[in-house]
Homo-oligomer: A and B are copies of this chain.
Amino acid sequence: MTTAHPLLIVGSIAFDDLDMPTGDHRNVLGGAATYSALAASLVVGARDAVRIVGIVGTDFPDAHLQELRSRGIDTAGVERAQGKTFRWHGRYSSDLASRTSLDTQLNVFADFSPKIPQAYRSSPFVLLGNIHPKLQVDVLDQVQKPRLVVADTMNFWIEREPAVLAAMLRRIDLLVINDEEARQLSGIHNLVRAAADIRKRGPTMLIIKRGEFGALLFDEAGAFFVPAYPLEEVLDPTGAGDSFAGGLMGYLAARGEVTPSSLRKALYFAASLGSFCVEGIGPSRLLGIGRSDLAARIASFARLVDHGGELSLP
Contacts and interface: CB of A to CB of B under 8 A. Distances in A.
Given A190-B233, A234-B190, A314-B43, A307 B227 contact: no
A191 to B, nearest CB: 7
A264 B308 contact: yes
A298 B313 CA distance: 8
A306 interface: yes
23 contacts: A43-B313, A44-B314, A95-B189, A190-B233, A190-B234, A191-B230, A214-B214, A214-B227, A222-B303, A223-B304, A224-B303, A224-B305, A224-B306, A264-B308, A265-B307, A265-B308, A265-B311, A294-B313, A295-B313, A298-B311, A298-B312, A298-B313, A302-B307
A118 interface: no
Contacts of A216: 230
A301 interface: yes
Given A302-B311, A314-B43, A227 B225 contact: yes
A237 B261 CA distance: 33
A291 interface: yes
A192 interface: yes
Contacts of A230: 191-192, 216, 223, 225
A291 B313 contact: yes
Given A268-B307, A268-B311, A294-B313, 6 more contacts: A43-B313, A190-B232, A222-B304, A223-B230, A224-B303, A225-B304
A110 interface: no
A251 interface: yes
Contacts of A255: 314
B264 A307 contact: yes
A64 interface: no
A63 interface: no
A184 to B, nearest CB: 14
A189 B97 CA distance: 12
A210 B230 CA distance: 13
Contacts of A2: 314
Nearest to A301: B311
Interface string A154-190: 0000000000000000000000000000000000011
A290 B129 CA distance: 47
A193 B232 CA distance: 6
A254 interface: yes
Interface in A274-314: 291, 294-295, 298-299, 301-308, 311-314
